Structure 1
């Protein structure tokens, strides 16, 4: 669905994107992670033909971009650098105009399609209000509604939850997963680790313009070789496990063990009560920070930004 080879963009002496090889497969929910300023938005703009690459190639739906933009873009929904809209018009009027200008939609079904798109993003009840009265989160929803007008095979979204409250983030996540189950491939650019971890099946990590990691999320969340053990008999467990306990926090122990089931048999057989026992797995946060060498402040692990993030976006 998306494939790039050596994709590079320079602005004078600055290399914003450096030989990026993306591989987004049909059916993916692909999370394109990177700190602000890492080159994410520049990459997305090159994918859509909005910016010309300095070097390398990009394909969408198996066709070269931007050469095949006229053929490809009717099947691609996108939201890049915030939604565009005419502020004096309502959300419904904006979508009708976008549909007439950009998607080639059938006029007879336009009103229905616009209404459906507004309903899907939670704006059906406020679409008579002029967009200048919309909050940032409502504008984000309107931009997503615009992307959905063309019933896309591929969605390319740049920070789609920017400005949304926690409920709004959950709503958009649920919508994107619903679309994916119905056959839409989703590409989401974000710096929100928690959102990517909860939603995506495949992850690419951009750091200072370079793609430093690209894997299935399930493979990244592999076991660490340790087991998390909760027991009211912590002292007995520590004595029994003879140096394999790496950390203790009250009744919770971190145990170096490859097989949780074997450990459970050993503990129960020795009369140690087990309240919790599960393999420890790598988190996306730990994997990303290790791959980038970045500090935790470079990514947001839990919360979406509360306002527009213009100056530092990639």
Structure 2
């Protein structure tokens, strides 16, 4: 769905995107992670033909961009750097104008498609108030509704949950998972590690313009060789496990062991009550910090 080869963008002497080889496959929920200023938005804008690359190649839906971008865009929904809208018009009127100016949508079905898009992003109840009276979160929802007008094969989203409260973030996450399940590939650029960890199946990490990591999220979050156990008999468990307990915090133990099932069987046979047991896995934060090194604490800072 998206392929780049040695994609580079320079602004004078500043290298914003540095020889990036990106691959987003059909059906992915791809999280494109990077701290603010790492080149994420510049790369997204190049994908959509809004900014020209200094060098390198881009393919979107199997076609070269920007050369054939006009053929591709009807199948791509995008929300980049916040939604644009006419502040004096209602959300519905803004979507109608946007749809009329685009390609691939029937005028006859326009009203129904606008209603469906607003319903999906939680704005169906909004009256005829002008967009200038919308909150930032409502504007984000309207931008996402615009991206959904033509049931795109590919969604390209830049910080889509910006300005949303926790309930709104969860609703958008559930919507994106549903769209992906129905066949839409999702490419989401973000600096919020927790949101990408909840939503995405595949991750790319960019730092200072370079792609430093790209892999399946499940593979990145591999087991650490430790097991997390909660037991009211923590002291007995420590004695039984003979030095394999690396940390104890009340009833919670961190134990060196490869097999939670075998460890659970051992503890139960020894009379230890086990409230919960699970493999410890690396967090996405740990993975990213290892890949990016010093300065990567810029992740999660407000955009």
If the TM-score is normalised by the length of the shorter chain, which range does it land in?
over 0.9
Q: Does 1:73 align with 2:77?
A: no
Separation of aligned partners in 2, 1:149 and 1:137: 19
For the 8 Å contact 1:118–1:127, the answer to whether it is kept is no
For the 8 Å contact 1:41–1:80, the answer to whether it is kept is yes
Which of 35-44 and 255-264 deviates more?
255-264
Tell me how large the CA RMSD over aligned residues is. 1.3
Separation of aligned partners in 2, 1:109 and 1:274: 58
SS at structure 1 position matched to 2:164: coil
Separation of aligned partners in 2, 1:271 and 1:173: 43
Which of 206-215 and 238-247 deviates more?
238-247
Show CA shifts across 1:56-100 (max 9, x none): 111100100000111100100000011011111111111000001
For the 8 Å contact 2:225–2:280, the answer to whether it is kept is yes
Separation of aligned partners in 2, 1:4 and 1:10: 16
Q: Structure 1 unaligned runs (5+)? A: 310-314
Separation of aligned partners in 1, 2:179 and 2:19: 31
Which of 171-180 and 230-239 deviates more?
230-239
In the TM superposition, residue 30 of structure 1 has moved relative to its aligned partner by: 0.5
Q: Does 1:293 align with 2:299?
A: no
For the 8 Å contact 1:103–1:149, the answer to whether it is kept is no
In the TM superposition, residue 271 of structure 1 has moved relative to its aligned partner by: 2.1
Q: Which residue of 1 aligns with 2:92?
A: 92
* TM-score between the two structures when normalised by the length of structure 2: 0.97
Separation of aligned partners in 2, 1:278 and 1:165: 31
Q: Does 1:138 align with 2:135?
A: no
Q: Which residue of 1 aligns with 2:276?
A: 276
1:106-255 → structure 2 map (5 Å cutoff): 106-255=106-255
Which of 39-48 and 101-110 deviates more?
101-110
In the TM superposition, residue 295 of structure 1 has moved relative to its aligned partner by: 5.4
Show CA shifts across 1:245-295 (max 9, x none): 111101111011111122122222222222222111111111111111145
For the 8 Å contact 2:245–2:255, the answer to whether it is kept is yes
Judging changes above 3 Å, is the alpha-carbon distance between structure 1 residues 149 and 238 closer, same or farther for their aligned structure 2 residues? same
1:45-60 → structure 2 map (5 Å cutoff): 45-60=45-60
For the 8 Å contact 1:227–1:280, the answer to whether it is kept is yes
For the 8 Å contact 1:92–1:127, the answer to whether it is kept is no
Q: Which residue of 1 aligns with 2:30?
A: 30
Separation of aligned partners in 2, 1:75 and 1:226: 45
For the 8 Å contact 2:35–2:296, the answer to whether it is kept is no
For the 8 Å contact 2:75–2:153, the answer to whether it is kept is yes
Separation of aligned partners in 2, 1:128 and 1:100: 19
For the 8 Å contact 2:123–2:142, the answer to whether it is kept is yes
Judging changes above 3 Å, is the alpha-carbon distance between structure 1 residues 158 and 127 closer, same or farther for their aligned structure 2 residues? farther
Separation of aligned partners in 1, 2:209 and 2:89: 38
Separation of aligned partners in 2, 1:264 and 1:131: 57
In the TM superposition, residue 104 of structure 1 has moved relative to its aligned partner by: 3.8
In the TM superposition, residue 203 of structure 1 has moved relative to its aligned partner by: 0.5
SS at structure 1 position matched to 2:109: helix
Q: Structure 2 unaligned runs (5+)? A: none
In the TM superposition, residue 103 of structure 1 has moved relative to its aligned partner by: 2.9
Q: Which residue of 1 aligns with 2:82?
A: 82
Q: Which residue of 2 aligns with 1:267?
A: 267
Separation of aligned partners in 1, 2:130 and 2:272: 65
* TM-score between the two structures when normalised by the length of structure 1: 0.93
In the TM superposition, residue 216 of structure 1 has moved relative to its aligned partner by: 0.7
In the TM superposition, residue 296 of structure 1 has moved relative to its aligned partner by: 6.7
